[in-house]
Amino acid sequence: MILGVWLERNIRTVDDVLALLDGLFAPEADRWTAQAGDWWDSFYADRSREVPFFVAKPDENLAGYVERGLLPPGQALDVGCGPGRNAIFLARNGFDVDAVDVSATAIAWAAERADGLGIRFRHGDAFATTGTYDLIYDSGCFHHLPPHRRISYLALLDRALKPGGHFALTCFTAEEGTTTPDAGLYRQASLSGGVGYRPDDLRWIFQDLTEVELRRMTDEPGESPLFGRSFLWTALFRKG
């Protein structure tokens, strides 16, 4: 707005372009934008639902990284933390943890679970994070982002991950998520529930980081203390 006049030419910055592209995916954008957490609030409202990641168990790959000494304790950020199962695991293993999610309902549930652990839970936009971290962990957020928001995601890693720090990711395989090419996602204006990736996709996207490990998640039985589903990739990268 200039002197009360609405501008029809409203693209001036990269953020303007990203916001425009966000709008192409409405109302599906309700699943990932910080301003529209209502979809996820509804998703997390019924805690008794049979949702695999509602369990109070950490990812098997994350537990393995810690057990093998690949991730020494330090400052950690859990991106899209949901009910907090991985943030809680990290805090119990000596990490100083920040955890963020677009759903206020998920954050409230996570804070109840983590009572006394000192985790700093925040309801909001992970891309607005200002701290720096030895570990950035993402279990299930990345595959819900439209292609143009990978730019925001990589900017977060560049800004917030300390030199020598680690980025660990759990995301859909091409068998679980959509295989529609990026251009096709814009034509259909939908992510079809989540984007599926191949190993070479992930290596290309995160090529500025050093790959430590990339594999399928191991299926874990119901009685296991760990969460694991083979329709997910697990990846660990190091900065520098």
Domain that holds residue 67: 14-46+55-238
pLDDT of 65 reads 98
pLDDT, mean over the chain: 92
Q: Taking a C-beta distance cutoff of 8 angstroms, is the pair 104, 124 a contact?
A: no
Cα separation, 60 vs 66, in Å, equals 10
Give the rounded distance of the alpha carbon of 207 from its chain centre.
18
Q: Taking a C-beta distance cutoff of 8 angstroms, is the pair 98, 137 a contact?
A: no
Q: Taking a C-beta distance cutoff of 8 angstroms, is the pair 53, 227 a contact?
A: yes
Mean local confidence (pLDDT), 40-48? 86
65 is a domain residue: yes
Residue 91: both structure tokens together:
């805090």
Q: How confident is the model at residue 1 (pLDDT cuts 50, 70, 90)?
A: very low
pLDDT of 3 reads 52
Count other C-beta atoms under 10 Å from residue 98's C-beta. 22
Residue 1 burial (10 A CB sphere; 0-12, 13-18, 19+): exposed
pLDDT of 221 reads 96
Q: Where does 190-231 show beta strands of DSSP type E?
A: 210-216
The per-residue pLDDT for range 169-210, each reduced to its tens digit, is 999 999 999 999 999 999 999 999 999 999 999 999 999 999
Number of domains in the chain: 1
70 is a domain residue: yes
Kindly tell me if the per-residue pLDDT of 35 is higher than 70. no
Long-range interactions of 23-26: CB distance < 8 A, separation 24+ = 24/146, 24/186, 24/189, 25/146, 25/189, 25/190, 25/191
Q: Name the least confident of 16-30, 94-108, 222-236.
A: 16-30
27 is a domain residue: yes
8 is a domain residue: no
Looking up residue 214, the CATH number of its domain turns out to be 3.40.50.150
Angle (CA) 40 52 80, round 5°: 40
3 is a domain residue: no
The per-residue pLDDT for range 61-90, each reduced to its tens digit, is 999 999 999 999 999 999 999 999 999 999
178 is a domain residue: yes
87 is a domain residue: yes
pLDDT of 38 reads 77
Cα separation, 9 vs 90, in Å, equals 47
40 is a domain residue: yes
